[in-house]
Structure 1
Amino acid sequence: MKLIQALGMTALLSLSAASWADIAVIVNLKNNNTYTGIDVDLIERIYLGKANQFPDGTSAVPYDLAKGDSVRDKFGRKILNKNPSQLHAYWSRLIFSGKKQPPREVSNAEAMKAAVAADLNAIGYINAYAVDASVAVLYTIKD
């Protein structure tokens, strides 16, 4: 009986942990693009410096979590199709050539929410469970 209870509890915890593993792409609450249905392609293009505008024509300013952050690594793999070393090499080439600058970097989810809440043009990402009323969710990346 205790084994069945333990297995049931383990299953429940793993299900709830899976929803916590989702990543939310966030923007400022006053950003009108929360209604435009931004897709993964545009998010990728913004984060790779290939696009700098939201669908309504306003500037898009991407923010990244700190290097080594597991959410940043997962975002890079799932959205940008690059592992951390590939992403570093990508940006190193662009910086060296003088063409682009990488997204602004913040230290953690709280700093990301604060940066996005303070900048109407900001776009960022955090664990979905860390979302609060200070930001709007633009897109959710399912784990």
Structure 2
Amino acid sequence: MKRLLLITCLLVNSIMAHANSNDHVMVVTHRDSSINTISKSQLRNLFMGNLALPDVTPIALSPGEMARSIFNIRVIGLTESRIQAYWAQMRFSGRQQRPETADSINELILMIESSTNTIGYLPEGTPLPEDIKVIYRSSVQ
């Protein structure tokens, strides 16, 4: 019985460690972009429409993508429902423009590859083409 309990505890700890390592995102841009690093606060401002970096277009994944939820919680600091409410208010007042949206990880990668002035986020560990560089990781703060 003690062995079974020990094995169960080790298995649960292993699963939790693996799950926590996948709960991170990396922020990427085109290799030729002049941006090499970006801070969490700059990202929050950029994706919430409060910071106009020169000629930079933020690209968000569509609602329902796990990486979007992770980005919203770890970087923006808000839940999806709070962000949607914020953008509804901004749209009503006509003040700010929400980020462009990619329907999938592959579409986001293609959008980043096709323009040097775009920034997006992907699940940590996503294989990247040569034309894309990482400028922020939520796992390193």
Give the TM-score taking structure 1 as reference length: 0.82
CA distance, structure 1, for counterparts of residue 11 and residue 129 of structure 2: 30
Deviations 1:65-85 (A, max 9, x none): 011212111211121121111
Q: Distance in 1 between matches of 2:74 and 2:18?
A: 20
Give the paired residue count.
137
Contact 1:77 1:83 survives alignment (8 Å) = yes
User: Residue 29 of structure 1 is aligned with which of 31, 45, 60?
Assistant: 31
Aligned AA (1:117): E
In structure 2, stretches of 5+ residues that fail to align are: none
1:37-76 CA deviation, whole Å, 9 max, x = no partner? 32101000000100121xxxx3210001011212111211
Q: CA deviation at 1:32?
A: 1.8
**Are the counterparts in 1 of residues 26 and 136 from structure 2 also a CA contact under 8 Å?**
yes
Q: Which residue of 2 aligns with 1:72?
A: 68
CA contact (8 A) 1:52 1:61 kept: no
Is residue 50 of structure 2 the alignment partner of residue 50 of structure 1?
yes
CA contact (8 A) 1:24 1:131 kept: no
**Runs of 4 or more off by more than 4 Å in structure 1?**
1-14
- Alignment of 1:129 with 2:131, yes or no, is no
Looking at structure 2, the residues matched to 26 and 17 of structure 1 have their Cα atoms a distance apart, in angstroms, of: 22
Percent identical pairs in the alignment equals 19
Match of 1:142 in 2: 139
- Superposition RMSD in Å: 2.2
TM-score, normalization by structure 2:
0.83
Q: Mean alpha-carbon deviation: is it higher for 113-122 or for 1-10? A: 1-10
Contact persistence 2:23–2:70 (CA under 8 A) = no
